[in-house]
Amino acid sequence: MEVATLVLLFVGGVLSGAVTAIAGGGSFLTFPMLLAAGLPPMAANITNWVALMPGNFMALAAYRHELAEMRHDIRAHLLVAFFGGLAGGALLLWSGEVRFEKAVPWLMLTATLFFAFGEWVKQRLHAWRKPDKPVSPRAILVFEFLLMVYGGYFGAGLGIVLLAALAMAGEASIHKANAKKNLMVAALSVAGMIVFLPSGVVVWAYAVPILIGSGIGGYGAVFLVRRVPQHVLRNSVLAWAVLLTGVMFWKYG
Protein backbone atom coordinates (compact mmCIF):
# COMPACT_ATOMS: atom_id res chain seq x y z
CA MET A 1 0.00 0.00 0.00
CA GLU A 2 1.34 3.44 -0.93
CA VAL A 3 2.34 5.99 1.71
CA ALA A 4 -0.07 8.50 0.18
CA THR A 5 -2.98 6.11 0.83
CA LEU A 6 -1.91 5.69 4.47
CA VAL A 7 -1.74 9.47 4.92
CA LEU A 8 -5.16 9.99 3.34
CA LEU A 9 -6.72 7.29 5.53
CA PHE A 10 -5.14 8.85 8.63
CA VAL A 11 -6.44 12.31 7.74
CA GLY A 12 -9.84 10.80 7.00
CA GLY A 13 -9.76 9.14 10.41
CA VAL A 14 -8.97 12.43 12.17
CA LEU A 15 -11.82 14.20 10.40
CA SER A 16 -14.21 11.30 10.98
CA GLY A 17 -13.40 11.10 14.70
CA ALA A 18 -13.98 14.83 15.10
CA VAL A 19 -17.19 14.83 13.06
CA THR A 20 -18.55 11.87 15.02
CA ALA A 21 -17.89 13.59 18.34
CA ILE A 22 -19.37 16.92 17.27
CA ALA A 23 -22.24 16.13 14.94
CA GLY A 24 -22.28 12.44 14.00
CA GLY A 25 -21.85 10.95 10.55
CA GLY A 26 -18.13 10.21 10.53
CA SER A 27 -18.70 6.91 8.69
CA PHE A 28 -19.78 8.88 5.62
CA LEU A 29 -16.18 10.06 5.29
CA THR A 30 -14.11 6.91 5.82
CA PHE A 31 -16.36 4.19 4.34
CA PRO A 32 -16.07 5.56 0.76
CA MET A 33 -12.33 6.11 1.27
CA LEU A 34 -11.90 2.39 2.00
CA LEU A 35 -14.00 1.51 -1.05
CA ALA A 36 -11.84 3.83 -3.16
CA ALA A 37 -8.72 2.15 -1.73
CA GLY A 38 -9.94 -1.12 -3.27
CA LEU A 39 -11.63 -3.00 -0.43
CA PRO A 40 -14.84 -4.95 -1.19
CA PRO A 41 -17.95 -3.40 0.43
CA MET A 42 -18.25 -5.89 3.29
CA ALA A 43 -14.55 -5.72 4.20
CA ALA A 44 -14.68 -1.92 3.92
CA ASN A 45 -17.71 -1.79 6.24
CA ILE A 46 -16.20 -4.02 8.93
CA THR A 47 -12.76 -2.41 8.69
CA ASN A 48 -14.34 1.03 8.95
CA TRP A 49 -16.49 -0.10 11.89
CA VAL A 50 -13.47 -1.32 13.87
CA ALA A 51 -11.24 1.61 12.89
CA LEU A 52 -13.69 4.26 14.12
CA MET A 53 -14.16 2.71 17.55
CA PRO A 54 -11.47 4.83 19.32
CA GLY A 55 -13.24 8.01 18.29
CA ASN A 56 -16.40 6.82 20.04
CA PHE A 57 -14.52 6.11 23.27
CA MET A 58 -12.55 9.35 23.21
CA ALA A 59 -15.76 11.34 22.74
CA LEU A 60 -16.91 10.06 26.16
CA ALA A 61 -14.35 12.33 27.81
CA ALA A 62 -16.50 15.35 26.94
CA TYR A 63 -19.34 14.01 29.08
CA ARG A 64 -17.67 12.45 32.12
CA HIS A 65 -19.73 14.59 34.53
CA GLU A 66 -23.04 13.69 32.86
CA LEU A 67 -22.07 10.00 32.83
CA ALA A 68 -21.34 10.10 36.56
CA GLU A 69 -24.84 11.48 37.19
CA MET A 70 -26.63 8.77 35.21
CA ARG A 71 -24.59 5.72 36.24
CA HIS A 72 -27.57 4.13 38.03
CA ASP A 73 -30.07 4.23 35.14
CA ILE A 74 -27.89 3.31 32.17
CA ARG A 75 -27.40 -0.42 32.74
CA ALA A 76 -30.44 -1.67 30.80
CA HIS A 77 -29.53 0.56 27.84
CA LEU A 78 -25.97 -0.78 27.83
CA LEU A 79 -27.18 -4.39 27.83
CA VAL A 80 -29.51 -3.61 24.91
CA ALA A 81 -26.66 -1.93 23.03
CA PHE A 82 -24.29 -4.84 23.64
CA PHE A 83 -26.63 -7.67 22.64
CA GLY A 84 -28.09 -5.69 19.72
CA GLY A 85 -24.54 -5.14 18.48
CA LEU A 86 -23.80 -8.86 18.76
CA ALA A 87 -26.93 -9.69 16.76
CA GLY A 88 -26.21 -7.10 14.06
CA GLY A 89 -22.58 -8.17 13.68
CA ALA A 90 -23.53 -11.84 13.46
CA LEU A 91 -26.20 -11.00 10.87
CA LEU A 92 -23.62 -9.18 8.76
CA LEU A 93 -21.21 -12.12 8.76
CA TRP A 94 -24.04 -14.58 8.08
CA SER A 95 -25.46 -12.57 5.16
CA GLY A 96 -22.14 -12.62 3.32
CA GLU A 97 -20.51 -10.38 0.72
CA VAL A 98 -23.06 -10.79 -2.10
CA ARG A 99 -26.11 -9.89 -0.01
CA PHE A 100 -24.30 -7.01 1.68
CA GLU A 101 -23.12 -5.55 -1.64
CA LYS A 102 -26.70 -5.52 -2.93
CA ALA A 103 -27.85 -3.89 0.31
CA VAL A 104 -25.18 -1.14 0.30
CA PRO A 105 -27.18 1.48 -1.68
CA TRP A 106 -30.27 0.95 0.48
CA LEU A 107 -28.21 1.03 3.66
CA MET A 108 -26.65 4.31 2.54
CA LEU A 109 -30.11 5.70 1.74
CA THR A 110 -31.37 4.62 5.17
CA ALA A 111 -28.34 6.15 6.88
CA THR A 112 -28.76 9.41 4.96
CA LEU A 113 -32.46 9.62 5.86
CA PHE A 114 -31.59 8.90 9.50
CA PHE A 115 -29.01 11.66 9.41
CA ALA A 116 -31.26 14.11 7.57
CA PHE A 117 -34.43 13.72 9.63
CA GLY A 118 -33.22 12.37 12.97
CA GLU A 119 -32.83 15.83 14.49
CA TRP A 120 -36.30 16.86 13.28
CA VAL A 121 -37.81 13.68 14.73
CA LYS A 122 -36.03 14.30 18.02
CA GLN A 123 -37.43 17.84 18.24
CA ARG A 124 -40.96 16.73 17.36
CA LEU A 125 -40.87 13.91 19.91
CA HIS A 126 -39.64 16.27 22.58
CA ALA A 127 -42.42 18.76 21.73
CA TRP A 128 -45.19 16.16 21.62
CA ARG A 129 -44.11 14.13 24.65
CA LYS A 130 -46.53 14.43 27.59
CA PRO A 131 -44.75 14.27 30.96
CA ASP A 132 -47.82 12.71 32.59
CA LYS A 133 -47.92 9.95 29.95
CA PRO A 134 -44.34 8.76 29.44
CA VAL A 135 -43.48 6.24 26.76
CA SER A 136 -43.19 2.67 28.07
CA PRO A 137 -39.57 1.93 29.08
CA ARG A 138 -39.90 -1.54 27.52
CA ALA A 139 -40.98 -0.04 24.20
CA ILE A 140 -37.97 2.28 24.28
CA LEU A 141 -35.62 -0.63 24.97
CA VAL A 142 -37.10 -2.68 22.11
CA PHE A 143 -36.68 0.26 19.73
CA GLU A 144 -33.11 0.77 20.94
CA PHE A 145 -32.38 -2.93 20.40
CA LEU A 146 -33.54 -2.70 16.76
CA LEU A 147 -31.35 0.38 16.28
CA MET A 148 -28.38 -1.46 17.73
CA VAL A 149 -28.92 -4.43 15.39
CA TYR A 150 -28.73 -1.91 12.54
CA GLY A 151 -25.66 -0.40 14.20
CA GLY A 152 -23.90 -3.77 14.37
CA TYR A 153 -24.79 -4.47 10.73
CA PHE A 154 -23.90 -1.08 9.20
CA GLY A 155 -24.23 1.77 11.66
CA ALA A 156 -23.93 4.98 9.63
CA GLY A 157 -26.45 7.56 10.85
CA LEU A 158 -27.12 5.60 14.03
CA GLY A 159 -26.14 8.31 16.50
CA ILE A 160 -28.69 10.93 15.52
CA VAL A 161 -31.59 8.44 15.51
CA LEU A 162 -30.50 7.14 18.88
CA LEU A 163 -30.68 10.70 20.17
CA ALA A 164 -34.25 10.83 18.88
CA ALA A 165 -35.07 7.63 20.78
CA LEU A 166 -33.61 9.08 23.98
CA ALA A 167 -35.68 12.23 23.53
CA MET A 168 -38.75 10.02 23.12
CA ALA A 169 -37.78 8.33 26.39
CA GLY A 170 -37.91 11.69 28.14
CA GLU A 171 -34.29 12.85 28.24
CA ALA A 172 -34.57 16.64 28.09
CA SER A 173 -30.87 17.53 28.38
CA ILE A 174 -29.01 17.36 25.06
CA HIS A 175 -25.72 16.85 26.89
CA LYS A 176 -27.04 13.94 28.97
CA ALA A 177 -28.63 12.42 25.87
CA ASN A 178 -25.36 12.74 23.96
CA ALA A 179 -23.44 11.20 26.87
CA LYS A 180 -25.83 8.25 27.02
CA LYS A 181 -25.69 7.87 23.23
CA ASN A 182 -21.88 7.79 23.20
CA LEU A 183 -21.79 5.24 26.03
CA MET A 184 -24.28 2.99 24.23
CA VAL A 185 -22.25 3.23 21.03
CA ALA A 186 -19.17 2.26 23.06
CA ALA A 187 -21.01 -0.85 24.32
CA LEU A 188 -22.05 -1.57 20.73
CA SER A 189 -18.41 -1.23 19.67
CA VAL A 190 -17.26 -3.79 22.25
CA ALA A 191 -19.87 -6.25 20.96
CA GLY A 192 -18.79 -5.65 17.39
CA MET A 193 -15.16 -6.29 18.26
CA ILE A 194 -16.12 -9.65 19.78
CA VAL A 195 -17.86 -10.62 16.55
CA PHE A 196 -15.58 -9.07 13.94
CA LEU A 197 -12.04 -9.60 15.23
CA PRO A 198 -12.10 -13.43 15.04
CA SER A 199 -13.68 -13.28 11.57
CA GLY A 200 -10.46 -12.29 9.81
CA VAL A 201 -12.35 -9.78 7.66
CA VAL A 202 -10.72 -6.68 9.20
CA VAL A 203 -7.97 -5.37 6.89
CA TRP A 204 -5.59 -4.00 9.50
CA ALA A 205 -3.24 -2.29 7.03
CA TYR A 206 -6.16 0.03 6.19
CA ALA A 207 -7.73 0.07 9.64
CA VAL A 208 -4.70 1.20 11.68
CA PRO A 209 -4.22 4.68 10.15
CA ILE A 210 -7.96 5.41 10.50
CA LEU A 211 -7.96 3.95 14.02
CA ILE A 212 -5.13 6.22 15.15
CA GLY A 213 -6.59 9.23 13.36
CA SER A 214 -10.10 8.74 14.75
CA GLY A 215 -8.75 8.56 18.30
CA ILE A 216 -6.88 11.83 17.82
CA GLY A 217 -9.86 13.47 16.12
CA GLY A 218 -12.32 12.30 18.78
CA TYR A 219 -10.09 13.55 21.59
CA GLY A 220 -9.44 16.87 19.88
CA ALA A 221 -13.15 17.37 19.31
CA VAL A 222 -13.72 17.11 23.06
CA PHE A 223 -12.48 20.68 23.33
CA LEU A 224 -14.79 21.88 20.55
CA VAL A 225 -17.92 19.82 21.10
CA ARG A 226 -19.68 22.51 23.16
CA ARG A 227 -18.58 25.42 20.96
CA VAL A 228 -18.71 24.47 17.27
CA PRO A 229 -21.94 25.42 15.44
CA GLN A 230 -23.18 21.92 14.67
CA HIS A 231 -25.64 22.88 11.93
CA VAL A 232 -22.82 23.99 9.59
CA LEU A 233 -20.94 20.75 10.01
CA ARG A 234 -24.08 18.60 9.85
CA ASN A 235 -25.27 20.25 6.63
CA SER A 236 -21.87 19.65 5.03
CA VAL A 237 -21.90 15.98 6.04
CA LEU A 238 -25.48 15.63 4.82
CA ALA A 239 -24.64 17.06 1.38
CA TRP A 240 -21.77 14.59 1.10
CA ALA A 241 -24.01 11.71 2.24
CA VAL A 242 -26.60 12.51 -0.44
CA LEU A 243 -23.91 12.55 -3.13
CA LEU A 244 -22.40 9.33 -1.81
CA THR A 245 -25.80 7.59 -1.76
CA GLY A 246 -26.29 8.45 -5.43
CA VAL A 247 -22.87 7.02 -6.26
CA MET A 248 -23.68 3.81 -4.36
CA PHE A 249 -26.91 3.32 -6.35
CA TRP A 250 -25.02 3.94 -9.58
CA LYS A 251 -22.26 1.48 -8.66
CA TYR A 252 -24.11 -1.29 -6.80
CA GLY A 253 -27.80 -0.73 -7.52
pLDDT tens per residue, range 59-88? 676 677 777 777 777 888 899 999 999 999
Q: How far apart are CA 154 and CA 54, in angstroms?
A: 17
Question: Nearest-CA neighbor of 164 among 137, 131, 136, 140?
Answer: 140
pLDDT tens per residue, range 141-171? 898 899 899 889 987 777 777 877 777 666 6
Q: How far apart are CA 104 and CA 193, in angstroms?
A: 21
Gyration radius of the chain's alpha carbons: 17
pLDDT value of position 205 = 92
C-beta separation of 248 from 37 below 8 A: no
Of 135 and 165, more confident: 165
C-beta separation of 67 from 214 below 8 A: no
Q: Tell me the CA distances in angstroms from 138 to 76, 130, 135, 142, 174, one per residue in order.
A: 10, 17, 9, 6, 22
C-beta separation of 133 from 68 below 8 A: no
Sign of CA dihedral 36, 113, 249, 252: positive
Q: What is the mean pLDDT of residues 121-146?
A: 71
Phi, then psi, of 100 in degrees rounded to 5: -65, -40
Q: How far apart are CA 72 and CA 68, in angstroms?
A: 9
pLDDT value of position 168 = 67
Domain assignment of residue 190, given as a range: 3-252
pLDDT value of position 207 = 92
pLDDT above 60: residue 131: no
How many domains in the chain?
Answer: 1
pLDDT value of position 247 = 81
